[in-house]
Structure 1
């Protein structure tokens, strides 16, 4: 019977090994920062000294005692590096805006940006087809378009894992790569400069023989890489001279107290002290954690909006601060124009904190601000008519305006009326602002004084 069982085990062993290996991989998280951020787009790395858990989700690291200050969790970025706008009232050729964009990508995390396409006059807008120049196979670029007079395209760029970048186009794994996007059939293109975040910034510096590693290893991204024969998260145990678990296994560091002074060391393991209140407890390998030694707010631990883990508040969703006293709800900051704090401040802990010029509960008042008509008049004049005091520096100071022309002031609701000092003619326009920019509608017809 025993022989049959052994034979059955040998037959099943090849099937069981992959599952066991996958389980072991899960139990053993990546050992350094580079491997951590490449292994899972949800993982972050903690550089705080003295921690055993370093690679996990943000929530997992917080529960292990890592604060936001010590977390390395790159998500990538988009930067528009060239964004020239057309001053022509009617486009004679295809025009793309922006013209150059730099992207930093974390593997598995996509970035997107809007691309405005002004079509030539009398050109029928059809379904958009975009061509790309050669690029690594790891990149994925997709387009989704909205046709409304002209075309607005959302460009989404992502990358696969760093291991798939090796050898592509004879480039290194970080880039930068230069990729051109062009509407099919037109010579104009948008240049993408793509960098991939495959390495942690902190991994480029090593502190050899670091005191934090008991002078027996290098400190890299907050973690010790021990020199043989030393082990431990502070390289404080010499395995060649340790044949049993002695009191050193109960210390968090070479000179740290046994079990953090909160327990007894028994056969190399900490037994944490009990508390009079049964709901309060010490825990952790060295009894270094507690569930009660946290900030209080309104006589409640963590303000009643979180739980205490290892001496730090882990706040409930939509609450933040060391004592979980700060609400992230923005409802009380929302102005009637659907902007937070009217765009004149920040919503902090559920209340508006206004910028220097603004005041009021919703930053709705700005006593020293120019009206929108006067504020933008010089840039409107140089952009629309090529005249005025800013005509020689219009390209440098006034490209922030997104300008549209109409025939007359009758086509504008509640227009601003300003006078040009060059020809004494009145011109009319309206200004509106949104999260995407400042929009100006200008009447092409001026009102000029009659000459005898």
Structure 2
């Protein structure tokens, strides 16, 4: 039976490599460093209150950790210096000018993850070249550097592969004279030449997030420091969010205030931590350290939570783009407030929540009417008459007083007014004839008028 189980395990490893890699990660890791050092595929979730910290990157995303909260360094290669630099042989009789590019690189190595770069070696001669042999100066313990020829003709291209086995054991390596994680300086040499390529190598065995320590973090209830997404609690507090006061009875850690109900009356206290009740509606839920928040206790608009234009988070509406207000019932779309001549509320009001709030005396969807204002027809009749027929009260001052108005005289049959136009009928000042005209406001001009020929009564 044991043999069969062993064979099955080997088959799983061979045919399910992704499963095997995930198993390598130390899911019980207590720190970011411990997690990353458990395997090259392992990543750490720095999001506060995450249920899973150490897993593969894919595994953390499946568990709900967003990609930008996943710390998974893979190392890198940076070119520090890359210039044409001649190399000379140590044997003068066979001296040939060479140069290699680049000349200096910086490598950050995550153990188990290879870093590869290429060296281009050029010989300034037309003669065939022999095999190029590369070597190195002393290499730190656990670091391996290998070479492979990619192009053998002039210029020669060599692939360089650098890899570290594992992070050093601080206890076992405490007597070593070298720095445990670097940086170390290593020279790649071309045998027979005086100059080579400089490498500066550093192991990535520490998590950068450890330096971003947030003291008295709200994620830790203000009772501890947030480090790499985890709380380091101040005495006497313990727990994932430092919610437990070890000097008090367990239930006291579940009170949001001195006289408050345990878990806000929405949950129960288990091991000094609130486990929130689940409402009957599966879409509804309580949350927060003391179950003080809900996703359904927010203002409503037209009977809908957050007007159906936002999300309810801890009693407050977070509105979608284009909506505002406490209940997300106010649209920011002002299209219904704009007149045909592109004026907001006819310049006689304010657009609020997509509706015009008109100034006193003005009314209508875009504040286009005014019950107390002089008629527009009456206001412009003298200028319409003088510009169209050169008659009327302003015929002698027409050009001076009526330059704001554009008049077009039509000979066709009178038509119905178009949207944005008003139809006017007025009696001529000089005869008993009447004339019709429409008025329309246009951008950058006060008014535009279209006038039809006078209609005079038939002579008896």
Q: TM-score of the superposition, structure 1-length normalised?
A: 0.48
Q: Which protein shows a greater Rg? A: 2
Q: TM-score of the superposition, structure 2-length normalised?
A: 0.47
Larger RCO (CA under 8 A, 6+ residues apart): 1
